[in-house]
């Protein structure tokens, strides 16, 4: 898969909804119900972070949910890419980007949303062919004003800012011309997931899905 094709597919995923839920799930047995709750609320693109021992099983479960588009987050190594692809992930997300990771995603036909925090990193990824990138960590790197400033000289790159993004500041990012969506965990808070309160999660998803962009 070429970087250009990867970016085309990643853009399609990012355009599905204004928010991509960033999910840290410990229990694969509730994964399908969580995915159904988020999809029902209008958030079909789901990023499952590889931060728990259950993550790959969670991806497998969520990949079976109708209407869901499941990806793997926190890809750090080529092995992560191979495991995520085998589990059923249809896209990947990384906090940064290394040549080894990019090579692995291209070799395994896994569209990647690679992370960039600076203009130089964004330019390097663009030079390779990645025109859709993750701005991370967004708030720690100056928030929406910083992303707007990066976009002025590099308008070719579209971003999904993640890291410190919530309902209260999502609009600041979504109003930018170089932002296609945001990533955030607020739509599936740990307390509601633990309580298996799927109706409340669907309501949060619906609120997020209605954000203008």
Instruction: Give SS3 for 146.
Output: helix
Measured in degrees and rounded to the nearest 5, phi and psi for residue 15 equal -85, -5
Residue 23: enclosing H or E segment and its boundaries? Answer: strand 19-23
Please report, for residues 56, 163, 205, the alpha-carbon distance to residue 137 in angstroms, rounded to integers and kept in the order given: 24, 5, 22
Catalytic residue among 61, 85, 106, 134: 134
- Phi first, then psi, for residue 89 (nearest 5°) are -65, 140
Known active-site residue 134: yes
CA nearest 38: which of 60, 14, 62, 2? 62
- Mark whether 8 is an active-site residue: no
Give the residue numbers marked as catalytic.
47, 134
């Amino acid at each position: 898969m070429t970087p250009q094709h990867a970016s085309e597919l990643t853009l399609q995923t990012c355009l599905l909804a204004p928010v991509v839920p960033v999910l840290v799930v410990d229990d694969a047995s509730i994964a399908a119900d969580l995915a159904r709750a988020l999809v029902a609320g209008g958030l079909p693109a789901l990023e499952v972070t590889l931060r728990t021992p259950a993550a790959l099983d969670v991806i497998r479960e969520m990949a079976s949910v109708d209407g869901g588009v499941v990806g793997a987050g926190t890809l750090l190594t080529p092995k992560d890419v191979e495991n995520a692809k085998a589990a059923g992930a249809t896209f990947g997300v990384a906090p940064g980007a290394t040549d080894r990771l990019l090579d692995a995603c291209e070799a395994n036909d896994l569209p990647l949303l690679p992370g960039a925090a600076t203009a130089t990193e964004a330019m390097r990824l663009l030079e390779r062919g990645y025109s859709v990138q993750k701005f991370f960590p967004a708030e720690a790197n100056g928030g929406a004003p910083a992303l707007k400033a990066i976009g002025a000289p590099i308008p070719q790159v579209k971003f999904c800012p993640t890291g410190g993004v919530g309902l209260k500041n999502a609009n600041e990012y979504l109003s930018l011309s170089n932002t296609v969506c945001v990533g955030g965990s607020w739509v599936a808070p740990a307390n509601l997931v633990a309580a298996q309160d799927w109706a409340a999660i669907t309501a949060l998803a619906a609120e997020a899905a209605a954000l203008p962009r």
